[in-house]
Structure 1
Amino acid sequence: MSTETILYIILAGIVALLLALFQYKFKVKSMSKQYMLFAFLRFITIFSVLLLLINPKFEQLKLTSEKPKLLVAVDNSNSIVQLKQDENAKQAIQSIRDHAALNEKFNIEYYTFGNTLNATDSVSFTEKQTDISSALEALQDIYKDDVAPTILITDGNQTFGSDYEFSSYNQPVYPIILGDTTTYVDLSIRQLNVNKYAYLKNKFPVETILVYNGKEPVNTTFSVTTGKQTVFTKHITFNSTNNSEVLQFTLPANHVGLSTYKAHLQPLETEKNKANNTKNFAVEVIDETMNIAIVSTYYHPDLGMLKKSIESNEQRKVSILKPNEIKSKLNDFHLVILYQPNNQFKFIFDAIKTENKNAFIIAGTQTDWFFLNEQTNAYEHDITPQTEIYQGVFNTNYSTFIVDDLDFESFPPLQSTFGEISFFTPAEILLFKKYGSLTTEEPLLATLETNGRREALLLGENIWQWRAQSYVNEKSFQTFDNFIGKLVQYLASTQRKTRLIVDFESFYEGVNSVVIKAQFFNKNYEFDGRETLQIQVKNNETGEETALPFVLKNNNYQVDLSHLPAATYDFTVRATNENISKAGRFTILEYNVEQQFLNANVSKLNVLANKTNGMAYFSNSYDSVFNELISNKKYSSIQKSTKTTLGLIDWKYVLGIIVFCLSLEWFLRKYNGLT
Structure 2
Amino acid sequence: MTAETILFIGIAGIFSLAVSVFMYGYKTKYKGMLRWVFGVLRFVTLFSVLLLLINPKFKTETYTVEKPKLPILIDNSASVVALNQKENVEALLKQLQENPDLNDRFDLSFFSFGNDFRGLDSLSFSEKNTNISKALASINELFKNETAPTVLISDGNQTLGADYAFSSATFKNQIFPIVLGDTTKHTDLAIEQLNTNRYAFLKNQFPIETILVYNGTGSANSQFIVKQGASVVYRKPVSFSETNNTQTISFTLPATSVGLQKYTAQLVALQDEKNTSNNVKQFAVEVIDQATNVLIVSSIVHPDVGALKKAIASNEQRTVLIKKPSEAAALLNDYQLVLLYQPDRSFSTVYSEIEKLKKNTFVITGLETDWNFLNNIQKNYSKEITNQTEDVSGILNVNYGTFAVDDLAFEAMRPLKTLFGALEITVPHEVLLEQSVDGFSSETPMLATMELNGVRNAIWDGEGLWKWRAQSFLNDNSFETFDNFTGKLVQYLASNKRRSRLEVSNETFYYNNNPIKISAQYFDQNFVFDSRASLSINVTNSETKERITFPLLLKNNFYEVDLNSLNAGSYLFTVSVNDQTVARSGSFTILDFNVEQQFLNADVAKLQYIANTSNGATYFVSQVDQLMSDLTKDNRYQQIQKSEQKVIPLIDWKYLLAIIVLSLTAEWFMRKYNGLI
Same fold (TM over 0.5): yes
Q: Name the CA distance, whole Å, in 2 between partners of 1:670 and 1:500.
A: 81
SS in structure 2 at match of 1:377: coil
Give the one of 571, 592, 595 matched to 1:593: 595
- 2:109 maps to a residue whose letter is E
Structure 1 residues 407 and 29 mapped into 2: Cα distance closer, same or farther (>3 Å)?
closer
**Which whole-Å deviations, capped at 9, do the CAs of 1:380-431 have from their partners, x for residues lacking one?**
3233222121222322222111222223333222111222222222322222
SS in structure 2 at match of 1:211: strand
Residue matched to 1:82: 82
- 2:282 maps to a residue whose letter is N
Structure 1 residues 27 and 353 mapped into 2: Cα distance closer, same or farther (>3 Å)?
farther
Residue matched to 1:505: 507
Instruction: Describe how 1:189-204 pairs up with structure 2 within 5 A.
Output: 189-204=191-206
- TM-score, normalised relative to structure 2: 0.95
Residue matched to 1:114: 114
Give the one of 372, 380, 383 matched to 2:382: 380
Give the one of 352, 355, 379 matched to 1:353: 355
Compute the displacement of 1:18 (Å).
2.8
Compute the displacement of 1:6 (Å).
4.5
Residue matched to 2:462: 460
Residue matched to 1:16: 16
My pick for the range that moved more, 389-398 or 166-175, is 389-398
Residue matched to 2:252: 250
Q: Name the CA distance, whole Å, in 1 between partners of 2:173 and 2:501.
A: 53
- Checking the alignment, whether the CA contact within 8 Å between 2:83 and 2:182 is kept in structure 1 is no
Residue matched to 1:154: 154
- Checking the alignment, whether the CA contact within 8 Å between 2:219 and 2:239 is kept in structure 1 is yes
SS in structure 2 at match of 1:406: coil
Residue matched to 1:622: 624
SS in structure 1 at match of 2:320: strand
Structure 1 residues 166 and 31 mapped into 2: Cα distance closer, same or farther (>3 Å)?
farther
**Which whole-Å deviations, capped at 9, do the CAs of 1:203-238 have from their partners, x for residues lacking one?**
111111111111122211110010111100011121
SS in structure 2 at match of 1:594: helix
- 1:132 maps to a residue whose letter is I
- 2:43 maps to a residue whose letter is F
Q: Name the CA distance, whole Å, in 2 between partners of 1:96 and 1:309.
A: 50
SS in structure 2 at match of 1:400: coil
SS in structure 2 at match of 1:583: strand
Q: Name the CA distance, whole Å, in 1 between partners of 2:11 and 2:389.
A: 74
Q: Name the CA distance, whole Å, in 1 between partners of 2:446 and 2:561.
A: 30
**Which whole-Å deviations, capped at 9, do the CAs of 1:288-311 have from their partners, x for residues lacking one?**
222221111210001111112212
My pick for the range that moved more, 663-672 or 366-375, is 663-672
Q: Name the CA distance, whole Å, in 1 between partners of 2:109 and 2:386.
A: 60
Residue matched to 2:643: 641
Residue matched to 1:215: 217
Structure 1 residues 657 and 528 mapped into 2: Cα distance closer, same or farther (>3 Å)?
closer
- Checking the alignment, whether the CA contact within 8 Å between 1:531 and 1:577 is kept in structure 2 is no
Compute the displacement of 1:624 (Å).
1.6
Q: Name the CA distance, whole Å, in 1 between partners of 2:233 and 2:437.
A: 58
Unaligned runs of 5+ in 1: none
My pick for the range that moved more, 496-505 or 438-447, is 438-447
My pick for the range that moved more, 623-632 or 174-183, is 623-632
Tell me the matched-pair count.
Answer: 675
Compute the displacement of 1:588 (Å).
1.0
Residue matched to 2:424: 422
Q: Name the CA distance, whole Å, in 2 between partners of 1:7 and 1:34.
A: 32
Q: Name the CA distance, whole Å, in 1 between partners of 2:74 and 2:189.
A: 29
My pick for the range that moved more, 457-466 or 642-651, is 642-651
- Checking the alignment, whether the CA contact within 8 Å between 1:208 and 1:248 is kept in structure 2 is yes
Compute the displacement of 1:440 (Å).
4.8
Compute the displacement of 1:106 (Å).
2.4
SS in structure 2 at match of 1:352: helix
My pick for the range that moved more, 304-313 or 589-598, is 304-313
SS in structure 2 at match of 1:630: helix
My pick for the range that moved more, 647-656 or 275-284, is 647-656
My pick for the range that moved more, 510-519 or 533-542, is 533-542
Compute the displacement of 1:76 (Å).
0.5
SS in structure 2 at match of 1:390: strand
SS in structure 1 at match of 2:315: coil
Residue matched to 1:334: 336
**Which whole-Å deviations, capped at 9, do the CAs of 1:7-63 have from their partners, x for residues lacking one?**
543443343233223212443499988756643442232121122123334433333
> Is 2:474 the partner of 1:479?
no
Q: Name the CA distance, whole Å, in 1 between partners of 2:252 and 2:445.
A: 47
Compute the displacement of 1:511 (Å).
1.4
What is the percent sequence identity of the aligned residues?
Answer: 50
- TM-score, normalised relative to structure 1: 0.95
My pick for the range that moved more, 400-409 or 274-283, is 400-409
My pick for the range that moved more, 548-557 or 508-517, is 548-557
Unaligned runs of 5+ in 2: none
SS in structure 1 at match of 2:329: coil
**Which whole-Å deviations, capped at 9, do the CAs of 1:505-556 have from their partners, x for residues lacking one?**
1111121011111111111111112333222222223332322222222211
Q: Name the CA distance, whole Å, in 2 between partners of 1:439 and 1:632.
A: 57
Residue matched to 1:584: 586
My pick for the range that moved more, 398-407 or 642-651, is 642-651
Compute the displacement of 1:247 (Å).
0.8
Q: Name the CA distance, whole Å, in 1 between partners of 2:147 and 2:536.
A: 48
Instruction: Describe how 1:37-56 pairs up with structure 2 within 5 A.
Output: 38-56=38-56
- 1:274 maps to a residue whose letter is T
Structure 1 residues 37 and 502 mapped into 2: Cα distance closer, same or farther (>3 Å)?
closer
- Checking the alignment, whether the CA contact within 8 Å between 2:424 and 2:444 is kept in structure 1 is no
SS in structure 1 at match of 2:497: coil
SS in structure 1 at match of 2:548: strand
- Checking the alignment, whether the CA contact within 8 Å between 2:406 and 2:556 is kept in structure 1 is no
Compute the displacement of 1:670 (Å).
7.2
